[in-house]
Structure 1
Amino acid sequence: MAQEVMHGERFSKGKVSSPALGEISGIVSSINNPGMFWVHNDSGDEANIYLIDSVANLKTTYRLEGINAVDIEDIAWVEVEGKSYIVLADIGDNLATRANISLYIFPEPLYKSNQVNDTIPKNEINIKTLIYPGKARDAEAIFVDPMDKQFYLISKREFRSILYTAAIFETNKPHFVLKPLISFPFTFITAADISPRRDALIMKNLTSIYYWPLRNNMSISKALSETYLPVPYEPEPQGEAITFDRSSDGFFTISERPFGLDSYLYYYHISKP
């Protein structure tokens, strides 16, 4: 039986109030703006990212210039040569019909007080195109290994979700074929993250959270081949997003607002027995 990761009670940090944030599908802790978070909506929104504070208040909206989003489903972080970048994943494909999917990679903005709208210039956005081997698939979860900058994606709708990878930061080429690595004993993964200290990985679907320790520079595929540790989780209405805090001591979740239900920024502290 899997050992359980213990934690204190769930803390509500704040209620999402902005009408612009109706379908939050991804969240990542900000590096350049400590205590804040980048979030985005999924299909139906334009190519926007939103900065919220520690109590879920919307601070500013950034539009990605020249990008026509299809279905943005997750957001990740990576540091390259001491500089923080955002990886925005336009990877949603419910009907598995897209010939390819896209990543938009750009320097993480620094929040300017009282500026409610801004633009990520087109010339700062690096677009990477991904293709699945065999056939198109749906996915909603990505992360980047901070040690070797390898990119990972987890498919959603198979009976067993699959881990894919691509070396998108090793070359300047724009097109990559995803390589399948392992499959999981669960499905419908909607978000993933790797801890800033690179000591843990986390994934979630609508009902469960899965946690893996990362030990002694262990490879991602080896770590995820081991038995996960389930984290007690109180499901949210259409709860699709998860991120570690920057200290790697816990994680945050946030949800969409289906049928007008409320959405909250929640924090879980992790302590291993």
Structure 2
Amino acid sequence: MVSRLLSSILFLTLVCIGVAQDLGANRESLGKITDSRLNELSGLVNSRKNSSLFWTHNDSGDSARIFLIDRKAKLKCIVALEGVHTVDAEDIAWFERDGRPYLVLADIGDNYGQRPTIQLYIFEEPVWQEGRSHMVIPRSAIVQVSLRYDDKPRDAEAFFVDPLDKKGYLISKRDLQVGVYPIDFQQAEDGETLSISRALSLPMTFITAADIAADGSEILLKNIGQVFLWHRLGSASVIDVFRQRPNTVEYQAEPQGEAICFGYQNHVFYTVSERPLGLDAYLYSYTLGNTK
């Protein structure tokens, strides 16, 4: 069943966008996910306060918490979000405000397209000290922003924040041509609800993760079987960048790969997978090489 689904997704995507130029990439397995609490990892972002660490989280069924892991995929700390109830957290992103890094936990999953609103939870990246295994972010330090699609509810698993225009970008998942939704969230107040509209449709489907380079010059999207890379020229808008044909990146499909992020260097990105049916999951690094 999984192989048939993957084949269908690859076929639909290739039919829609054509065969783009493939970029070579060297994959390295950094470590195996062994802690049973990290069972449905769905988002990943490189810590801005410690380049050797990553923030990640589970999706539906878990409490409102994020995990700090090291480059060997070992769990270092669990951070709970006080007073927050997540339904289906599917991605995590970062942005900078007043010189300080913030995280956004994107509770945007909606498998059946029934949620009247979805949520972003915004908070300053915690400061972690070696040996500290648990932390709590107080509710007073979290801004909750609700989002409502202007047409109908839909499922999404991909979100990033552009460092140039400061907007968030949500990518829908299950549409035959996924939608790109800009979100001007940074000035929103706690508890505010924003209406979001599709700005562009991309000729691909089943997008499960996204990230943007720290300088905004590269954008990554992935589905279960492929990784796509867009190069940004100058200060072009994200929407204009997405109007270009992307490169595909050499990628080996994971059991249920739903997370991707750039490292501190634009030519390196990382992935991690859920563990469906008890299959092993690993933290991988990909170093981009020459165009094939």
What range is the shorter-chain TM-score in? over 0.9
Give yes or no for contact 1:60–1:118 (8 Å, CA) kept in 2: yes
Where does residue 82 of structure 1 map in the other structure?
A: 99
Structure 1 residues 138-147 or 172-181, which shifts more? 172-181
Q: Following the alignment from structure 1 to structure 2, what is the Cα–Cα distance between the partners of residues 91 and 188?
A: 14
Matched residue SS, 1:5: strand
Where does residue 270 of structure 1 map in the other structure?
A: 288
Provide TM-score, normalisation by structure 2: 0.91
Where does residue 193 of structure 1 map in the other structure?
A: 211
Where does residue 73 of structure 1 map in the other structure?
A: 90
Say whether 1:221 aligns with 2:247. no
Provide TM-score, normalisation by structure 1: 0.97
Per-residue deviation at 1:272?
4.6
2:265 aligns with one of 234, 239, 247: 247
Matched to 1:27, the amino acid is L
2:250 aligns with one of 198, 208, 232: 232
Where does residue 181 of structure 1 map in the other structure?
A: 199
Give yes or no for contact 1:197–1:247 (8 Å, CA) kept in 2: no
Matched residue SS, 1:112: coil
5 Å-filtered alignment, 1:105-254, equals: 105-172=122-189, 174-254=192-272
Per-residue deviation at 1:198?
1.4
| Higher fraction of helix | 2
Give yes or no for contact 2:121–2:143 (8 Å, CA) kept in 1: yes
Q: Following the alignment from structure 2 to structure 1, what is the Cα–Cα distance between the partners of residues 188 and 153?
A: 24
1:39 aligns with one of 46, 49, 56: 56
Write the deviation string for residues 197-251 of structure 1: whole angstroms up to 9, x where unpaired.
Answer: 2110000010111110011111100000100100111000011100000122210
Q: Following the alignment from structure 1 to structure 2, what is the Cα–Cα distance between the partners of residues 197 and 271?
A: 20
Q: Which runs of structure 1 show a deviation greater than 4 angstroms over 4 or more consecutive aligned residues?
A: none
Matched to 1:167, the amino acid is D
Give yes or no for contact 2:272–2:282 (8 Å, CA) kept in 1: yes
Q: Following the alignment from structure 1 to structure 2, what is the Cα–Cα distance between the partners of residues 91 and 126?
A: 16
Give yes or no for contact 1:50–1:58 (8 Å, CA) kept in 2: yes
Matched to 2:107, the amino acid is D
Give yes or no for contact 2:145–2:188 (8 Å, CA) kept in 1: no
Q: Following the alignment from structure 2 to structure 1, what is the Cα–Cα distance between the partners of residues 27 and 145?
A: 37
Q: 1:167 to 1:225 in 2, by over 3 A?
A: same
2:71 aligns with one of 44, 47, 54: 54
Say whether 1:11 aligns with 2:28. yes
Per-residue deviation at 1:123?
0.4
Per-residue deviation at 1:171?
4.1
Matched to 2:214, the amino acid is P
The share of aligned pairs that are identical, in percent, is: 44
Q: Following the alignment from structure 2 to structure 1, what is the Cα–Cα distance between the partners of residues 173 and 130?
A: 38
Matched residue SS, 1:265: strand
Per-residue deviation at 1:102?
0.3
Matched residue SS, 1:222: helix
Per-residue deviation at 1:6?
2.2
Per-residue deviation at 1:47?
0.3
Structure 2 gap ranges (5+): 1-18
Matched to 1:87, the amino acid is V
